[in-house]
Structure 1
Amino acid sequence: MSIPKVSIRQIKAARALLGWSQDDLAVHSGISVPTIKRLEATDGEIGGRVETRKALVTTLQEAGIKFLSDNDGGPGLRMAKRQRRSR
């Protein structure tokens, strides 16, 4: 699975949509709070190591975030549709 190009603004917006702090993202992703703070202090696409970007994006996707690219009408995000459970 390829990791989509995601901006720092999308990461911050995803955290806000989930109601997560930087500490929450750190706990769920295994990335340190200082690293998250450093990355979020910049603008543009997520910097840092590939493994770090992958961990952050994957964690947010698994929490229900769907990242939208420029091809989807501009970068953004939304909550992914939940799968209905069969009874």
Structure 2
Amino acid sequence: MNQHSRLQAEPAETLIDTPSHAQIRAARAYLGWTALELAEESGVSFSTVRRVEMPGHRAVRDENVAAIREAFSRHGVRFVSYADGSLGIAGRS
């Protein structure tokens, strides 16, 4: 067995529970949703959607972020991180 056959490949992407503000905006753009549509789909307020999409520290409850993540998940969007540390979204194939 050579040295390379013992190396295990790292997963191409890892699902994450807490998306970044940029990932949320990217997912919304991917689906063609407005902020109001995301609020309606997730059951959170429009102001919460705006707050969660702002860079920096967000004063948003974990359950609201989870509701937003679940709304995207129902429409085939996942939030991922890659082996190089970058973040992204993954949609249906």
Which bin holds the TM-score, normalised by the shorter protein? 0.7 to 0.9
Q: Distance in 2 between matches of 1:60 and 1:52?
A: 13
State the TM-score, normalized to the length of structure 1.
0.76
Q: Deviations over 1:37-79 (max 9, x none)?
A: 1222x21576511110100011111111021114476210121
The equivalent of 2:11 in structure 1 is none
Structure (1 or 2) with the larger CA radius of gyration: 2
Q: Does 1:37 align with 2:50?
A: yes
Write the distance in 2 (CA, Å) between the matches of 1:57 and 1:45: 18
CA distance in 1, matches of 2:42, 2:35: 10
| Partners of 2:40 and 2:75 in 1: CA distance | 13
Check whether the contact 2:51–2:58 (CA below 8 A) recurs between aligned residues: no
Greater than 3 Å deviation, 4+ residue runs: 44-47, 70-73
**Secondary structure at 1:4 match in 2:** coil
Structure 1: unaligned runs, 5 residues or longer: 82-87
Residues paired across the two proteins, number: 79
Provide the residue aligned with 2:92 in structure 1. Answer: 80
- Residues in 1 aligned to 2:55 and 2:44: alpha-carbon distance in whole angstroms: 19
- Aligned CA RMSD, in angstroms, stands at 2.3
- Answering whether residue 75 of structure 2 is matched by residue 63 of structure 1, we say yes
Give the aligned partner of residue 52 of structure 1. Answer: 64
Give the alignment's TM-score, normalised by structure 2: 0.72
Q: Say if 1:7 and 1:44, in contact at 8 Å, map to a contact too.
A: no
Q: 1:53 to 1:46 in 2, by over 3 A?
A: farther
Structure 2 runs not aligned, ≥5 long: 1-14
